[in-house]
């Protein structure tokens, strides 16, 4: 396999783009990434998108986005893996370059949630679950996460300790130009917000937003940001049949493989972007990634270890909670943010001396996960 590098990064702010189409968001991020890479020699395109077939009635998105980029003719395909679409699309793009099949890949993700009403967005999210016996109960993604949240509270933590995951995300987002909610939020505000799905408060949930993020991948040369580990893993779809529902097996498996590919251990990770669509999922992800012991992630978060100068800076631009969570695009925001950190281009969010960073996304109730590890090289 060839070594793969991130040659270009493009992000647009996560917000509600009432007057823009899905493909225009994609095109904007893609053009930024291509400009950043200084190339127009893209030979294939991967587009990450979760809910376009429901929110925009749009499938066959590969052709749609190459057309909108003025590049009809390029091979292109949509990658869908629930809210892990971005992370999985990145993984597929890495494989394309690593295998030698492609020389320059554009991988971008776009999602436009503001095109539908909130209850339809709720429905779109639960489409990641098995429909006939899980979604049929009327449960939501918040509800599934809430059931884990309650088990976690019984065993390991107080509500406010889990809620700190959101507070920290907001702290980190302040000043972030692409974040949807770049403001501080107190733990009291989170704990006083209405219940979304007991015991999850509304202010522990990521919001509804539109966004697009893109990267250009090429064979690694002399210096830059290299993709040193990339893995995807799955788990049983239903929480009901998992041996221990508090262990995100798909995250653990993908992380194990990605660490092994990268030749690193959790201790070597300088920063992590984790999937905190709900506070508890950020907590459980930190544990499944091996960045915190089982049942110990809230101590990590409360103890400033996840701050930018802490032991394991986490969600340095705000995470899903504060940067925003445009579903299929989210995984690419995460990887792009890691790339910015490793380039030293993270501005006020910069983790000093960051060399190795990790991005983790998950789809469904962690029934699929992607873990991508990047390393700065040659500088």
Residues lying near other proteins in the complex (CB under 8 A):
118-120, 122-123, 126, 130, 132-140, 142-144, 146-148, 150-151, 154, 194-200, 238-241, 245
Q: What are 98's two structure tokens?
A: 């690593």
Residue among 44 and 134 whose Cβ is closer to other proteins: 134
Identify which of residues 121 and 300 has a Cβ nearer to other proteins in the complex: 121
Give the residue from 236, 246, 240 showing the smallest Cα distance to 364. Answer: 236
Under 8 Å between Cβ of 331 and 85: yes
**Is residue 115 a contact partner of residue 209, using CB atoms and an 8 Å limit?**
no
Question: Least distance from C-beta 166 to other proteins, angstroms?
Answer: 17
Residue 314 is classified by DSSP as B
Nearer residue to other proteins within complex by CB, 55 or 218: 55
We find the least distance from the C-beta atom of residue 136 to other proteins, in angstroms, to be 6
SS3 16: coil
Query: In terms of CB distance, is 80 or 129 closer to other proteins?
Result: 129
DSSP of 125-168:
HHTTS-TTTTGGGT--HHHHHHHHHHHHHHHT--HHHHHHHHHH
CA distance linking residue 164 with residue 71, whole number of Å? 45
Nearer to other proteins, 176 or 208 (CB): 208
Our CB check for other proteins shows the closer of 244 and 267 to be: 244
Closest separation between CB of residue 315 and other proteins, Å? 24
Torsion sign across C-alpha atoms 273, 53, 94, 290: positive
For the bound state, the minimum distance from the C-beta of residue 209 to other proteins, rounded and expressed in Å, comes to: 17
CB 202, min distance to other proteins, A: 9
Q: In this structure, how many other beta carbons lie within 10 angstroms of the beta carbon of residue 348?
A: 11
In this structure, the number of other CB atoms found within 10 A of the CB of residue 138 comes to: 7
Strands 224-234 and 195-197: unpaired
Tokens 């990641």 correspond to what residue?
Answer: 128
From the CB of 119, what's the least distance to other proteins, in Å?
Answer: 6
Nearer to other proteins, 143 or 211 (CB): 143
Instruction: Give CA 263 to chain center in angstroms.
Output: 22
Least distance from other proteins to the Cβ atom of residue 364, Å:
13
């Amino acid at each position: 396999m060839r070594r793969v590098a991130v040659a270009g990064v493009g992000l647009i702010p996560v917000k509600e783009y009432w007057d823009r189409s899905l493909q225009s968001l994609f095109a904007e991020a893609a053009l930024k990434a291509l400009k950043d890479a200084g190339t127009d020699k893209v030979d294939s395109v991967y587009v990450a998108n979760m809910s376009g077939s429901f929110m925009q009635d749009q499938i066959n998105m590969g052709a749609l986005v190459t057309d909108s980029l003025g590049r009809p003719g390029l091979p292109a395909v949509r990658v869908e893996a629930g809210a892990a679409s971005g992370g999985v699309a990145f993984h597929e793009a890495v494989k394309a370059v690593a295998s030698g099949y492609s020389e320059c890949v554009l991988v971008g993700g776009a999602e436009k949630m503001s095109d539908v009403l909130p209850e339809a967005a709720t429905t779109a999210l639960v489409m990641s679950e098995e429909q006939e016996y899980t979604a049929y109960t009327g449960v939501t993604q918040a509800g599934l996460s809430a059931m884990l949240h309650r088990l976690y509270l019984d065993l390991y933590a107080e509500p406010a300790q889990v809620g700190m995951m959101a507070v920290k995300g907001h702290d980190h987002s302040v000043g972030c130009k692409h974040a949807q909610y770049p403001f501080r939020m107190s733990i009291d505000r989170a704990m006083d917000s209405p219940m979304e799905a007991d015991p999850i408060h509304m202010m522990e949930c990521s919001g509804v937003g539109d966004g697009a993020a893109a990267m250009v991948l090429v064979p690694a040369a002399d210096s830059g940001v290299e993709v040193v580990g990339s893995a995807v893993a799955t788990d049983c779809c239903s929480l009901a049949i998992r041996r221990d529902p508090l262990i995100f097996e798909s995250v653990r498996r993908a992380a194990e493989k990605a660490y092994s590919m990268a030749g690193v251990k959790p201790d070597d990770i300088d920063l992590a972007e984790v999937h905190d669509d709900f506070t508890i999922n950020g907590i459980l992800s930190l544990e499944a990634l091996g960045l915190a012991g089982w049942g110990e992630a809230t101590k990590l978060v409360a103890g400033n270890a996840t701050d930018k100068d802490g032991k394991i800076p986490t969600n340095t631009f705000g995470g899903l909670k504060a940067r925003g969570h445009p579903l299929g695009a989210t995984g690419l925001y995460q990887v792009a943010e890691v790339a910015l950190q490793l380039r030293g281009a993270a501005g006020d969010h910069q983790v000093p001396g960051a060399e190795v960073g990790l991005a983790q996304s998950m789809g469904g109730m962690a029934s699929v996960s992607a873990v991508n590890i990047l390393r700065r090289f040659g500088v």
